[in-house]
């Protein structure tokens, strides 16, 4: 393997980290409020609103049910509008964020549903308003489940980032396809797969360690 190829692998590795980090952050910025809205406006939530909850749920489900590789192609016009191009790392961040947001939303909603209803009722009986219940009761009590969800989300976004290489999205996925597959350089393919596995393991280890520090039951 030449030094130029090693340098390209390093650059692609950094591009993958950038895609996962930015898309994960933007996806969380959109997905966490969406998840809270899905929970609070659901039937049996602290502020039921079926006319709002159902369309929002349908939208989230529609994006989640679309295979990522199809989503990549389907929103190319939107990607060009936002990023100014349909190829490269910046362009890949757009579909990655759109795919991450509904995933995070559902994980947040599921985590909040695990909170004991008695705690919510106790807070309501003491006159707590909705923001207080969300930030003082729901999120602290769901912290363990939210950490698990964050770990799953990061791993999923990493997998999506590799798929984006199929249409020139940059990162390790593009190197694997351009050199490992198209040019039959199996050594490059094996290295990119190994790097993706290492990244996934790091994400899981970090998530597990954070979980152990915040939840005594995980120790």
What's the pLDDT tens digit per position in 124-168? Answer: 899 889 999 999 999 999 999 999 999 999 999 999 999 988 888
- CA distances to 7, 112, 116, 143 from 140, rounded to whole Å, are 44, 10, 12, 5
What's the pLDDT tens digit per position in 6-27? Answer: 888 999 999 999 999 999 999 9
pLDDT at 97: 96
pTM > 0.85: yes
Domains for the chain: give ranges and CATH numbers. Answer: 3-218 (1.10.3720.10)
């Amino acid at each position: 393997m030449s030094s130029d190829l090693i340098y390209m692998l390093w650059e692609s590795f950094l591009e993958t980290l950038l895609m996962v980090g930015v898309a994960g952050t933007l996806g969380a910025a959109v997905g966490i409020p969406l998840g809270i809205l899905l929970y609070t406006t659901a039937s049996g939530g602290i502020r039921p609103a079926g006319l709002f909850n159902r369309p929002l749920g349908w939208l989230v489900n529609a994006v989640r049910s679309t295979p990522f590789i199809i989503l990549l192609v389907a929103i190319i016009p939107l990607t060009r509008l936002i990023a100014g191009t349909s190829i490269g790392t910046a362009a890949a961040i757009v579909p990655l964020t759109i795919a991450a947001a509904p995933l995070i939303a559902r994980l947040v909603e599921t985590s909040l549903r695990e909170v004991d209803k008695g705690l919510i009722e106790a807070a309501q009986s003491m006159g707590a308003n909705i923001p207080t219940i969300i930030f003082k009761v729901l999120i602290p009590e769901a912290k363990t489940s939210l950490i698990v969800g964050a770990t799953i989300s990061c791993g999923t976004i990493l997998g999506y980032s590799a798929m984006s290489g199929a249409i020139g999205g940059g990162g390790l996925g593009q190197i694997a396809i351009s050199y490992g597959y198209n040019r039959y350089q199996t050594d490059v393919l094996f290295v990119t797969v190994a790097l993706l596995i290492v990244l996934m393991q790091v994400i899981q280890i970090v998530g597990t360690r954070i979980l152990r520090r915040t939840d005594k039951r995980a120790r």
